Amino acid sequence: MTVIDAAVHPIMNDAEYIERLPAPWRNVRLTSVLGQLFEAPFPEITDADAARSPAAMAELLFGTRGVDVAVLSPLTRGLLANQRQAAAVARATNEWVREVWLEHDERFVAGIRLPIADSAASVREIERWADDPRFVEVVVPLRAFAHYGDEQYFPVWEAAADHGLPVHIQDDLANAAEYLHTAVGQPVEWSENDATRSMMSAVHALSLTASSIPDRLPELRFLFGDGGIDIVKPLLWRLDADWKATRVEVPWIEELPSLRAPRFCRFITQAQDGTVDGVRHEDALDAITGRVSEGIYGSHTPFWDQVRISEVLPDGPDAARDALLWGNALRDIPRLAAQPALAALAPADAVR
Amino acid sequence: MKYVVGPAASIPPGTSLVIYPEPEPAGIGVFNIDGTFFALRNSCPHMGAPLCKGYVSGTTEAHLDGRKPPLVESVRDGEILACPWHHWEFDIATGRTIFPSKNRVRRYDVTVEESSEVLERLEKGVQTFPVSVDGDEATVVVEI
């Protein structure tokens, strides 16, 4: 059985940042990894060794679990108010991933972290690393200062598309500088915060669907790293109704938004998705998402709420399980096809 | 059957009139777009709203050119009817929705005839809207 794990999160510690950041940023204390606003009443990072050590991560993923290729999307320290600092942190993170992780094992590939609030700096960061075929996607934070369908991001998405890099949207957890979750205020309990994270995925998904970006960059894919497909779908149905009434404001949209979104939105498996869960039962998956082809397996190692390979459609059908475990990733992260560890695979037929 | 709506001059360009002939109790909207008359059933295929009581305006078109932001243009002013309930847009000339769908409102053929001809028809029992038809006025007739 082939497995591509599309959500593996190395975490760089403070000492490593201090070593790699230029002045003055090496003298500025970074936010803690998980932020201060919300703290779970249990350890959220359950495989801490794997988070910091490529050897431990390789042993866990490739040894114990039988993963073939792991796509690393490292955490940074959340959105930062200072965009020069954010650019320095992104660059240090990318350097660390390349030197420490990609050099360790050819079964590791990675996403390029971008200081997304600064489009020009983000394009520079893409250009800095894109010639290295082991960088297979770009990674941007779920929390953002503007919806990802906003025109300000277009140069970033264009650069990503030009290099064949999908955009992985990932919650960085750390709450360094961010808006309120919702217009009605801030969650109080950790569980509220965790449950409402999917709302942010939904906002970005709707924003991108309503924008003209899918028409102008038809090859670009957005991978929602923290799931949310169970929230996004009903909101797309609402967008359908609104579109019929207000097509006049978005005349570039020529099909129902609920049909448009699956052309470019993908959802990495997430333990909290769905009424039962997002991946175990095909019937439930169909009811929630409509299509297996929109899902991509990701474990979320080293966190507590990992999705186990054995949880992905344990009762089949085999073709759908293969699509989730590797076929869809190979289709939607094009650079994976050139990785030595996956050389024997051909993209699977799309499973709908 | 032919249904006489009334003098063409009573529905100037850019205006419309809803008539209620016996065979169509929901009514029929008669629209004058730049001197050409169109007629649509006064019932939205979506939820049955009195469609022809909606408002007439234009719509927008997007011109996509590679990766440039779409150029959005206002087009077809006066040719589009928006339903008063859910604002679905319809092409008055065809009865079709502007967004791609299978929904379509029934349309009727409209002719403009000289009143002398209409009066001739009236004698043969054509149903009329209660308006006077004088002299050689152009008269709007809907084929129901």
Over the range A153-175, which residues count as b (16 or more CB within 10 Å of their CB) and which as e?
bbebbbbbbbbbbbbbbbbbbbb
Q: Would an 8 Å CB–CB cutoff place B70 in contact with chain A?
A: yes
Say what the pLDDT of residue A329 is: 96
Interface-testing mutation among B75, B88, B99, B102, with chain A (most A C-beta atoms within 10 A): B99
Q: In Å, how far is B67's CA from the nearest CA of chain A?
A: 5
Residue A229 — pLDDT band, cuts 50, 70, 90?
A: confident
For A288-335, what is each residue's pLDDT tens digit?
455 688 889 999 999 999 999 998 887 778 888 899 999 999 999 999
Indicate yes or no: CB of B86 within 8 angstroms of CB of A254: no
Say what the pLDDT of residue A346 is: 57
A-B contacts at Cβ under 8 angstroms = 49
Considering only CB atoms, A216 lies closest to which of B59, B67, B99, namely: B67
ipTM comes to 0.83
Say what the pLDDT of residue A135 is: 98
Residues 146-185 of chain A whose Cβ lies under 8 A from any Cβ of chain B: 151, 154, 158
Say what the pLDDT of residue A69 is: 97
User: Is the N-terminal amide bond of A115 cis, ω within 30° of 0?
Assistant: no
Residue A350 — pLDDT band, cuts 50, 70, 90?
A: very low
Task: Give the sheet arrangement for strand B71-82, strand by strand.
Answer: B55-63, B71-82, B89-91
Say what the pLDDT of residue A283 is: 53
Say what the pLDDT of residue A242 is: 93
Indicate yes or no: CB of A251 within 8 angstroms of CB of B60: yes
Say what the pLDDT of residue A194 is: 87
Q: What is the mean pLDDT of residues A179-198?
A: 85
For B15-56, what is each residue's pLDDT tens digit?
999 999 988 999 999 999 999 999 999 999 999 999 999 999
Indicate yes or no: CB of B69 within 8 angstroms of CB of A151: yes
Indicate yes or no: CB of B70 within 8 angstroms of CB of A249: no
For A1-55, what is each residue's pLDDT tens digit?
899 999 999 999 999 999 999 999 999 988 888 887 888 899 999 999 999 999 9
For A160-184, what is each residue's pLDDT tens digit?
999 999 999 999 887 777 787 778 8
User: Across all residues in chain A, what is the average pLDDT?
Assistant: 90
Indicate yes or no: CB of B59 within 8 angstroms of CB of A217: no
Q: State pTM to two decimals.
A: 0.90
- Counting residues of chain A whose pLDDT is more than 90, the rounded percentage is 69
- With contacts defined as CB-CB under 8 Å, which chain B residues touch A252? 62, 64, 70, 72
Burial class (CB in 10 A: 0-12, 13-18, 19+), A218: exposed
Say what the pLDDT of residue A145 is: 92
How far apart CA A91 and CA A97 sit, in angstroms, is 10
How far apart CA A321 and CA B110 sit, in angstroms, is 59
Q: In Å, how far is A116's CA from the nearest CA of chain B?
A: 20
Q: Would an 8 Å CB–CB cutoff place B74 in contact with chain A?
A: no
pLDDT at residue A341 greater than cutoff 80: yes
- With contacts defined as CB-CB under 8 Å, which chain A residues touch B59? 247-248, 251
How far apart CA A10 and CA A247 sit, in angstroms, is 43
For A105-133, what is each residue's pLDDT tens digit?
999 999 999 999 999 999 999 999 999 99
HSE (side-chain half, CA atoms, 13 Å) at A125:
30
How far apart CA A43 and CA A26 sit, in angstroms, is 28
